[in-house]
A and B are shown apart, each in its own frame.
Chain A
Amino acid sequence: MNEAQLRGLTPSVLGILVRRGADFAAAEDAVQDALVEAIRVWPTDPPRDPKGWLVTAAWRKFLDATRADAARRRREDIVDEEPAPGPTPGADDTLRLYFLCAHPSLTPSSAVALTLRAVGGLTTRQIARAYLVPEATMAQRISRAKRTVSGVRFDRPGDVATVLRVLYLVFNEGYSGDVDLAAEAIRLTRQLAAAIDHPEVAGLLALMLLHHARRAARTGPDGGLVPLAEQDRNRWDTRMIAEGVVILQAALARDRLGEYQAQAAIAALHADAPTAEETDWVQIVEWYDELVRLTDNPVVRLNRAVAVGEADGPRAGLAALATLDDSLPRHTAVAAYLHERDGDPTTAARLYAEAAHKAGNLAERDHLTRRAARLNAHR
């Protein structure tokens, strides 16, 4: 059993402890301790029943911690009763945990940190490294988050949309440090999809898979960003694309469209084109129209302008762009691209340089600077 599989047991083990009467914060600590012990012990002494082993170990750690804490002595009334063994509905436990960790009373960064630890089973140190903050800061963030949700009843259904937003944030962080957050987000979304039958959960999973499938092609040999149109499509992960498409089609067949399904549909149309020239931009524009209707998000309108530029020509794209607020992030980059397509390298080069100056992302800035430099060199 590898570490990811081991961590996959985290939510149901935690759920069992909570249902036995442990409070969430203490149970979460105990499960972390048990995971650390499992990583140490299992390579030489693998258990026959990994989940049972973890439940037993975590429960023992919980009892030890509770007994050690004199102020919590009264809790022993609960914990001294030997809990009833036997199978438990793991999916419900898992689902409740997702809702709790993405609770609306938490800030986005707290919800992300708590989800990665309590649902994902990552250690505080791993999460801290992934987000490039000191371990002590991340420990505080997590313990505050646990305090915030400690009063939340564990048995009430939550809002799937809040959970999906948290998973989307984790996915978009990509990877830095020793944890691949994109892969972790996919794992957690897959686990959620197994616990709840919801077309938007499936839509987000499909979106992540379709996007992740292009990862190898997205970075050039020099580490620079390779835009979609210039990617080597042989480097796309076709197995992952196929899985994403199947999941998306099943979700769309339910006829309950949402923003993640619509985004995944756009990603699928890109994945479907053997070459950039063969992309079905007309259909992509239609999906963007759906997305605008669903979200009314200005960033979506900006991306729609790019698609319009491909479907109906750069002039049409520029006309769509002209209706949007030019303070939007990437607005200048889109304008530069459309002017380049329109055969105006002078304006495009100027706008690429301006867009590079405004960029909030390193890879994007370098990419835009290169584009400006290339156009300037050919004038």
Chain B
Amino acid sequence: MAKYLLLKHYRGAPASVNDVPMDRWTPEEISAHLGYMNDFAARLKETGEFVDSQALTPQGAWVRYDGEGRPPVTDGPFAETKDLIAGWMIIDVDTYERAVELAGELSAAPGAGGKPIHEWLEVRPFMSASQHTIAE
């Protein structure tokens, strides 16, 4: 019973095995990919392990406080070299092994040529918020 974030990157992750950008796929391959992702989420809802899934646009900016009475400073868009997050799925599973197993399945989503992308996904455990564990 722990939550994990499965993080997908536009940029910054190691290169995937089937590393062809999506705009070079056929429309059918794109449909197959999106269908796989939807089926995966639906299956996790069915097993009672799904928490959340969101996609992010590649656009964005850095923002920071700039002192009393002044508008926040913005900087952007992100430079080409930056680590850029594309989206995530949050799962609630019994073990770390299960989280890795599911990330592996997600990474097998089909890409160019209908073959698995073998995309690198980041698996990050959530920090537990419980203040009540017996071990003191």
Residues of A with Cβ closer than 8 Å to B? Answer: 107-110, 112-113, 131-134, 136-142, 144, 168-169, 171-176, 182, 207, 211, 215, 218-219, 225, 227-228, 263, 299, 303, 330, 359-363, 365
Contacts of A173 in B (CB 8 A): 1, 130, 132
Contact A144 B130 (CB under 8 A): no
Contact A109 B132 (CB under 8 A): no
Contacts of A175 in B (CB 8 A): 132
Question: In the complex where A144-B48, A228-B136, A360-B125 touch, is A137 in contact with B131 (Cβ < 8 A)?
Answer: no
CA gap between A113 and B125 in the complex, in Å: 21
Interface of A (DSSP majority class): helix
Residues 21-61 (chain B) with a chain A CB within 8 angstroms: 45-52
The 22 sampled A-B contact pairs (Cβ below 8 Å) are A108-B1, A109-B48, A109-B94, A112-B1, A133-B92, A134-B52, A137-B49, A137-B51, A138-B48, A144-B46, A144-B47, A168-B134, A171-B134, A172-B132, A173-B130, A207-B134, A218-B131, A225-B131, A330-B135, A360-B128, A361-B129, A362-B128
Contacts of B81 in A (CB 8 A): none
* CB-contact partner of A219 in B3, B131, B136, under 8 A: B131
CA gap between A110 and B49 in the complex, in Å: 10
Contact A172 B133 (CB under 8 A): yes
Contact A227 B136 (CB under 8 A): yes
Contacts of A363 in B (CB 8 A): 129-131
Answer yes or no: B79 CB below 8 A from chain A CBs: no
CA gap between A225 and B92 in the complex, in Å: 26
Interface of B (DSSP majority class): loop
CA gap between A362 and B94 in the complex, in Å: 20
Q: How far is the CB of A272 from the nearest CB of chain B, in Å?
A: 15
Question: In the complex where A107-B94, A108-B1, A211-B134 touch, is A137 in contact with B127 (Cβ < 8 A)?
Answer: no
Residues 89-132 (chain B) with a chain A CB within 8 angstroms: 92-94, 125, 127-132
> Please, which residue of chain B has its CB at the minimum distance from the CB of A185?
B132
Q: How far is the CB of A210 from the nearest CB of chain B, in Å?
A: 10
Question: In the complex where A132-B3, A136-B45 touch, is A108 in contact with B50 (Cβ < 8 A)?
Answer: no
Q: How far is the CB of B97 from the nearest CB of chain A, in Å?
A: 12
User: Most A CB atoms within 10 A — which of B46, B92, B132?
Assistant: B132
